[in-house]
Amino acid sequence: MMRKGIALAGGLLVLVLVNYGIYGRERLLRDGRIVLLELSPVDPRSLMQGDYMRLNFAVADDAVRRAPPRADGRIVVALDVRGVGHFRRFDRTGRVAPDEVALRYRLRARQMRFATNAFFFEEGQASTFSSARFGEFRVDGNGDMILTRLRGPRLEALPIASGRTAAKSLTE
């Protein structure tokens, strides 16, 4: 009887934690600030290898060129009038100006990663997403972010029905 009670309590705890995570992501999608990050060139073969594209961001390249980070952290980007983020500094104080946003990054294989490093789409849609030049993110006050869509060279929205992000990428 005791084992069943422990198993039931453990199962309930897992359900509560999973649902709390889902609630947090839904809130971020609804209330997060929109930030656009310019895509950095990546190996175009990934478009042909399995209906996904690898993502790198110019702001990460700029930050690493200026001062290679040694651990996970946050950078501060300044937003231009179009909402595109440009590297300003590494976040050491937790304070940002109204035209700035802090973005949480993780170091993986000595590369700075934001939210995801891949965008998956339906088979046969490579030509639609090959014109992508910007990633559109929703960002909360802690710097947590979700990639919501890709945008083209004139910031036009590319279709979202076909695309989805790689949730596993931060743990790789």
pLDDT confidence of residue 49 = 58
Q: What are the extents of the domains in the chain?
A: 1-31, 33-171
Q: What is the pLDDT of residues 116-172, one digit of tens each?
A: 787 877 777 777 788 889 999 999 988 999 988 889 999 998 876 444 444 333 333
Show the CA angle centred on residue 65, arms to residues 76 and 61, nearest 5°.
65
Backbone torsions φ then ψ of 136, nearest 5 degrees:
-100, 125
| Predicted confidence (pLDDT) at residue 19 exceeds the cutoff of 60 | yes
pLDDT tens for residues 68-88? 888 899 999 999 999 999 999
Dist CA 7 CA 2 (whole Å): 9
- Of the pLDDT bands very low, low, confident and very high (cuts 50, 70, 90), residue 14 is confident
The whole-model pTM stands at: 0.75
Quick: pLDDT tens for 132-147.
Answer: 899 999 999 889 999 8
**For the residues 59-74, what does the mean pLDDT come to?**
89
pLDDT value of position 168:
34
3-state secondary structure of 83: coil
Task: Determine the Cα–Cα distance for residues 85 and 102; give it in Å rounded to an integer.
Answer: 10
Residue tagged 């649902």 (tokens): 19
108 C-beta neighbours (distance < 10 Å), count: 14
d(CA 146, CA 135): 10
Direct distance between the N- and C-terminal alpha carbons of the chain, in angstroms, rounded to an integer: 40
Instruction: State the Cα–Cα distance between residues 163 and 132, nearest whole angstrom.
Output: 12
